[in-house]
């Protein structure tokens, strides 16, 4: 699906880049903080999914403020405050003819939300604030703030590591082991601002004090926060905002990421949709209960060397045709093929298991061996793409499977309890990128004396 068209609005002689997505009845502005680059935002699959889910019930408005992303740069030494940031947004709202909007702001961008709600209440219908703070640093009359050492540590971290993969371990700890994500995140940072500009922005943000504006915020306000974040006691700050914004509602979400997009996004999306529309009609629209199947040829590197390039290509073509035929027969759908491998999804675990058996029988008839892994659960579905933890687990199970065997998770085995399938226990495995140990089983008759009791 193509990203939305980038356009420009003019504010005080500067051009401000913006995009709109969706055509719902609500105009919803999303400001993710300092880290913005609206062209590259679509290279991050989780961010695209998050924004398109918001666009199911709203017209989403994105923009890069002056000095960030693809909007005009600032003069040397200039750092815009919340007032200037708000002025850029108001210019964009005029350009898209949005008279009144809901505003979804995270972290440092919450200062802009407070300013707009207090000074331009006619333009702001409601606020959704992610990990908000009215003031970052501690003060005699603000014990909720962070100690000066924390502020200096954050600025030093940004100055030294902005634009590198290092920051992922602090901002999105759950993805610290994902090399591809780290590379994308570092590229995104470099495209949004230089290390000097990023550090200057956050140093200014750490000195902002929006406490006097909170009593002037009269629109409906939802506060979303993680209980504890690196370098930032988000719970204390969110509770202060709740006490001082009349009628605001606070929701605590799980996880340790600064960004709701990359961890437990569904909980955040559901809370946002329900707050803005009164229901969660679209919150789970992109999820389906599926069984995932991964398979590949055993010893493919050695086999390719023995056959030679031409013969190997012919064999791979025959294997892929065989795989596609069997998946079609059992009413599955091929999501992806890579070399001699296959990723397919099925509506039921029974059809997926029957297909796996047929694949192994056909591969044996071709004098090749394959290994297969299956798992079942709710997947994120967007067009032809299928993503999520269930997919990740299925791929890891296939990687653990022994040659010529069909391995499944305990989850899938339990789903077909009472059927004619029998499973042999293969043990508890720690799958890379997955918390805890998983019980894995092979589709086979258990060997005599093998203990099949659940652990």
| Total Cβ atoms within 10 A of residue 400 | 18
pLDDT at position 450:
41
Please give the pLDDT value at position 452.
39
- 293 neighbors 210 (Cβ within 8 angstroms): no
Q: Containing H/E element for 59?
A: strand 58-63
CA 417 – CA 353 distance, rounded (Å): 13
The closest alpha carbon to 56, from 284, 299, 241, belongs to 284
Strand partners, 292: 345, 375
Report all structural domains of the chain as residue ranges with CATH numbers, in order of start: 7-277 (3.40.50.1820), 287-443 (3.30.70.1230)
Distance between CA atoms of 287 and 343, rounded to whole angstroms?
18
pLDDT along the chain (455 residues), means of 10: 88 90 93 84 86 91 88 74 87 95 93 94 96 90 86 82 85 84 88 83 82 96 87 87 95 87 87 91 71 88 75 80 89 84 92 93 87 92 79 93 94 92 93 85 62 38
Helices (H) and strands (E) in the chain, counts: 14, 16
Listed as own residue / partner, the contacts of 113-117 with beta carbons closer than 8 Å and 24 or more positions apart are 113/31, 114/82, 114/210, 114/213, 114/214, 114/217, 115/82, 115/83, 115/85, 115/86, 115/210, 115/213, 116/86, 116/89, 116/90, 117/213, 117/216, 117/217, 117/218, 117/219, 117/221
Question: What is the structure's pLDDT at 453?
Answer: 36
pLDDT value of residue 386: 85
From residue 186, alpha-carbon distances to 40, 153, 167 in Å are 12, 20, 8
Give dist(CA 86, CA 397) in Å, integer: 49
Distance CA 13, CA 27 (A): 26
Q: For residue 105, which of 88, 127, 134, 136 has the smallest C-alpha distance? A: 127
CA angle 321, 323, 328 (to 5 degrees): 95
373: nearest Cα among 455, 445, 440, 452: 440
- Phi first, then psi, for residue 253 (nearest 5°) are -115, 150
DSSP codes joined into one string, 6-48:
PEEEEETTEEEEEEEE---SEEEEEE--S---TTGGGGSHHHH
User: How far apart (Å, rounded) are the C-alpha atoms in residues 109 and 33?
Assistant: 5
Q: How far is CA 362 from CA 296, 299, 302, 325, 404, in A?
A: 13, 17, 21, 10, 12
Interacting residues of 306 by C-beta distance below 8 A, sequence separation 6+: none
pLDDT of residue 446: 42
Q: pTM of whole model > 0.85? A: no
Helix axes 349-365, 309-329, angle to 10 degrees: 150
SS percent in the chain: helix, strand, coil, step 5: 40, 25, 35
Whether the Cβ atoms of residue 33 and residue 136 lie closer than 8 Å to each other: no
């Amino acid at each position: 699906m193509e990203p939305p068209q980038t356009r420009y609005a003019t504010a005080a002689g500067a051009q401000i880049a913006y995009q709109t997505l969706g055509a719902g009845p609500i105009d919803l502005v999303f400001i993710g903080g300092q880290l913005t680059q609206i062209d590259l935002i679509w290279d991050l699959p989780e961010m695209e999914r998050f924004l398109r889910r918001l666009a199911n019930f709203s017209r989403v408005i994105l923009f890069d403020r002056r000095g960030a992303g693809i909007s005009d740069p600032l003069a040397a030494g200039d750092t815009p405050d919340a007032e200037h940031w708000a002025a850029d947004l108001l210019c964009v709202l005029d350009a898209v003819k949005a008279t009144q909007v809901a505003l979804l702001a995270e972290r440092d961008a919450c200062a802009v939300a407070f300013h707009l709600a207090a000074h331009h209440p006619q333009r702001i219908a409601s606020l959704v604030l992610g990990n908000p703070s009215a003031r970052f640093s501690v003060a005699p009359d603000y014990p909720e703030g962070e100690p000066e050492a924390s502020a200096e540590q954050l600025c030093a971290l940004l100055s030294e590591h902005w634009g590198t993969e290092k920051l992922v371990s602090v901002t999105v700890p759950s993805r610290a082991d994902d090399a591809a994500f780290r590379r994308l995140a570092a590229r995104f940072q470099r495209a949004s601002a230089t290390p000097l500009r990023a550090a200057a922005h956050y140093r200014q943000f750490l000195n902002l004090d929006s406490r006097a504006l909170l009593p002037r915020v009269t629109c409906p306000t939802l506060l979303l926060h993680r209980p504890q974040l690196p370098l930032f006691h988000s719970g204390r700050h969110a509770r202060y905002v709740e006490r001082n914004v009349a009628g605001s509602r606070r929701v605590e979400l799980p996880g340790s990421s600064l960004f709701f997009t990359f961890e437990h996004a569904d909980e955040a999306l559901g809370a946002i949709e329900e707050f803005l529309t009164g229901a969660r009609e679209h919150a789970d629209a992109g999820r389906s209960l599926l069984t995932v199947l991964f398979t590949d040829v055993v010893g493919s590197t050695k086999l390719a060397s023995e056959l030679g390039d031409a013969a190997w290509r012919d064999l791979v073509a025959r294997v892929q045709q065989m795989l596609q035929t069997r998946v079609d027969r059992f009413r599955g759908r091929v999501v992806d093929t890579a070399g001699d491998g296959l990723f397919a999804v099925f509506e039921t675990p029974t059809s997926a298991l029957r297909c796996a058996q047929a694949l192994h029988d056909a591969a044996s008839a071709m004098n090749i061996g394959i290994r297969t892994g299956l798992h079942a659960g709710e997947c994120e579905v967007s067009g032809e793409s299928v993503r999520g933890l269930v997919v990740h687990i299925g791929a890891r199970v296939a990687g653990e499977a022994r040659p010529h065997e069909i391995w499944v998770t305990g989850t899938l085995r339990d789903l077909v309890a009472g059927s004619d399938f029998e499973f042999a226990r293969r043990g508890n495995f720690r799958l890379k990128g997955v918390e805890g140990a998983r019980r894995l089983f092979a589709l086979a008759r258990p060997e005599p004396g093998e203990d099949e009791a659940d652990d």
